[in-house]
Each structure stands twice: as C-alpha cells, then as structure tokens.
Amino acid sequence: MSKPKISFFSPFCAKAKKNHHDITVITTENFDGWKKGQNAALKTHVEETGFGAKAGKALIHRGSDGNIENIIAVISSAYTYEDGSKLYNAVKDKFSERTLNDTSFALKSDDHSEEQIFRLYAGIGFAVYAFDQYKKKKATDKAQFVLADGIDAKRVKTFVEGVCLVRDLVNIPANDMGPDELEAATKFLTEKHKLELKVIKDKDLIKKNFPMIYEVGKGSARRPRLLDFSWGNEKHPKLTLVGKGVCFDTGGYDIKPSQFMLTMKKDMGGSAHVLALAHMIISLKLPVRLRVLIPTVENSISGDAYRPSDVLQTRKGITVEIGNTDAEGRLVLADSITYACEKKPELLIDFATLTGAARVAVGLGLPALFCNDDDIAYEIQKLSNTENVLDPVWNLPLWRPYRKELDSPIADICSTGGKAGATTAALFLQEFVEENIEWIHMDVYAWEDHGTPGRPKGGADTGLRAIFAYLEKRYGK
C-alpha cells in the first residue's frame, strides 16, 4: 500500500449535476409559518410523517409522478456549523449510495445572512470528511453541493480545506508521518502557494545553533529538522507562527504508559494547526508578512536519546535542566521561539499539544490560551464564542509567582515543575519570548475522542477558527 497523500479536501462541485435538487432550509422558529404556506399535498405529507420543527431532520416530498418536488431540512435559528453538518447527514441518509454519485444539491433559504449560509456550507464540508486512506473500501456515499450564488466560495472552500488539513495530518499514523513526511506535507503547501521552504536538518542544527531541537530528536533514526517559510509583503506587519512538530512521542526515558501512547501520533498537532492557519492566511490574503517555523522531531528511546537531569544549552544562551523527557515539546519550541524573536515580529503565535495539565484544567474540547497581553487574551476568548466563530478557547493565567517552581539548583531553569502544569509550561516558553513582542500560546488537544456531527473521532482542529478570526479582525480582510 502506498503512503497516504496530502491534498486539499473539498465536497463542492463547480456546477450542478444532471440530477440536482435544492434543499429548502427552514429554522425551527419559522417552521409553522412555512407549513401554513404550503399546498395541501405537502401539508398532509408533513403531518402524516410527523415531520416537525426539530433541527437535524429532513423530508423528501415527491409528486404524483414519483419525482422529487421538495427537499426540506430543519435547522436551529442560529445557523451553526453543526446545523450544516446535521443537515448534510439528514439529507444524505435519504439517498442510496448509487443515487448520490449522480446527484448534486444546493441550499435554498429566503431569510439568511451571508455569514449564516456560510456556516451551513462550511458545516456541510466538515461533515463530508472521512479519513479512509487505509481502507480498501473507500467511503463513496458522499453528497456533493453546489455553492449558492452570492456566497464567498473561496472563503468556504478555504475554511473546509484548513480544518480537513489538520484532520488528515493528525490522523495519519506515525509510521507514515515522521519528520520526512511532515517536511513533505509542508513542501506540498509551500509549492501550492509558490513559496520557498528552508530546512535545517540533523547536525546542521548544531552548527546553526538550535541545540535543543537537535537534542530532543537525536535519539531517533528519523532525523530532526527545522522547517521555515515566509509569505507576504515585507512592508506589512510581521506575524510568526510556530508549531510543535513532534511526530511521535514515546515520552523518552520517562516513557509514557501504553494507553497514553496510543494517540501520540497527534503530538505534531501544533504543526498541523499552523500549516492550516498559514493556508487560510495566504489563500484569503490577509495583509501580513507571515513566517512559519516548525521544529520537527521524533522523541524516541535509544542510546543517543537525552536523559532526565541532563543540562541542555539553548539558542538563547539559557541552560535548561531536564526535569522530564516527556516534556519535550517546550524544548523544541523554545529554540524556535528564540529564532522567531530575532526577526522582531509584531505578533508571535505558537500552537502545541503541550500538556495534559491543560486538559485537566479545561477539558478535552476547550483549548487553553495564554497571552502576555490580557486585552488580546480577553478579546480572543470573547470572539471565539461569537456565532460567526463558534470555536471556544479559554484564557489561563501566566501567573508569575509560579515561575519559581521552575528554578534549578544547577541550571538557569528546569524544564518542569509545579502543580499548575499548563501555566508552568507556558511560563517556561515565556522565558524565550522577547518582552516587546506580543505572544499567544495555544495549548491544544488536536483530537476528538467520541465524534459529533461534523467532527468525527480522530484528528481535530481546536482553536484554529478562533485565532484566524482574531487575525482577520486585527489585520483586516
């Protein structure tokens, strides 16, 4: 079996197929009014089937010749992304696999804003996605949609592409998504956007002063590297994204229990998020000078692997005592953050599947946000809960009194310490951020444990749309 290929997923077709149907979208609050305006045959069908004002339900009404006259789908009055996903599932379930292959659909709604219909189409895209690259029988029961006139098709497609890129990158198992493959996935993105990808690999990391990236990755036969690319007008505000690219994390000598290692293919979820975010920024042409840095390693156990209590040098010149080899992400991020700050970006954002402590603090579905500017943190948290974003994040404190928990008797700082593990990890990273640079740290889970409409079990975006919404508001479209 060949290795899975990275591509941009889209469920949308350019034009209607021979068999095409409009789906009339009705909100729960408008259902009774809609029903009153229908002909007797349709009213009777609605009553006989018990079809009512319940979101996530669909009805097919046929004429006397057996052909479809109406498809009706009910959603909530909020027009959420989940409404779009539920609508898709409800309609798809009404058709056979064979029929779907020859059919296209479009949404028809008389009372909606552009943002509302955008959310429905994006939610449809999220629901169509299925990770089946390793299955002999691929999913073929997928409905295709034609984007309605007046909608920003580029924006809808870009959002779906970004979210599904995160899912693909995280879902691919580590045997097919090591440092070589993550570099190839990054190259796929840079080539699409006609950008140059710079790579510093293996012992060149030592020569070019990235000692902690090298130390974390040197224990693996799959060699460590730093991926680096830029886009945009140099006169625009500088924005740098840093993504944790730990392609698999055994925990090193502080080895993880087996049940916690099962999902460690997702430990490169931070890099997946920044690649998706970069794609959205570039595709929708935000006026920024973008730079992306991805420290890419595998944290393995071998005779060459680094050890607990080792003292490592850093690019910044700070010495670090290793408290736990399973806290490797902060080490590779630290050298990358130092490097990023040397170019003086206006805003620096990192994404990382960094701590289990963040999951204890805010749960699995809510990413933890840290920021050295309280106003920015509160703005993002508020924005993340608005109806146009619906991607909640939660601000946790960079509580300076906890910094002493990272004191080391033999080095400038210890890599671990204290009970507030998410905060102390963020405080460790803050040591490498220049004081005059605005910095956002996203501690994300990048995984869906159970699966909900439009959000299947497996790799998942967490905080991606929230951060993009903030960037779009800050820098303009």
**Which of 35, 142, 155, 256 is the catalytic position?**
256
Evaluate if residue 5 carries a pLDDT over 90: no
Q: What percent of the chain has pLDDT over 90?
A: 87
What per-residue confidence (pLDDT) applies to 14?
Answer: 86
User: For residue 142, what pLDDT is reported?
Assistant: 84
pLDDT on residue 329: 98
**Which CATH number does 157-475 carry?**
3.40.630.10
pTM flag (> 0.75): yes
Quick one: average pLDDT of 286-301? 98
For 169-191, how does the pLDDT look when each residue is reduced to its tens digit (9 = 90+)? 999 999 999 999 999 999 999 99
Condensed to tens digits (0 to 9), the pLDDT of residues 58-113 reads 999 998 898 999 999 999 999 999 999 999 999 999 888 778 878 999 998 877 88
Q: Give the separation between CA 366 and CA 436, rounded to whole angstroms.
A: 28
Q: What is the pLDDT of residues 405-443, one digit of tens each?
A: 999 999 999 999 999 999 999 999 999 999 999 999 999
Told to judge if 167 belongs to the known catalytic residues of this protein, a careful annotator would answer no
Question: What mean pLDDT is predicted for residues 377-387?
Answer: 97
Is 330 among the residues known to form the active site?
Answer: yes
Confidence category of residue 204, pLDDT binned at 50, 70, 90: very high
In the predicted model, what is the mean pLDDT of residues 299-307?
Answer: 97
Torsions phi, psi of 138, nearest 5?
-80, 155
Single out the catalytic residue among 222, 225, 291, 330: 330
pLDDT value at residue 457:
96
Between 150 and 360, the more confident residue is: 360
Q: Domain 19-151 belongs to what architecture?
A: 3-Layer(aba) Sandwich (3.40)
Copy the structure tokens of residue 178: 């090591």
In the predicted structure, residue 168 carries a pLDDT above the cut 70: yes
List every span in the chain annotated with CATH 3.40.630.10. Answer: 157-475
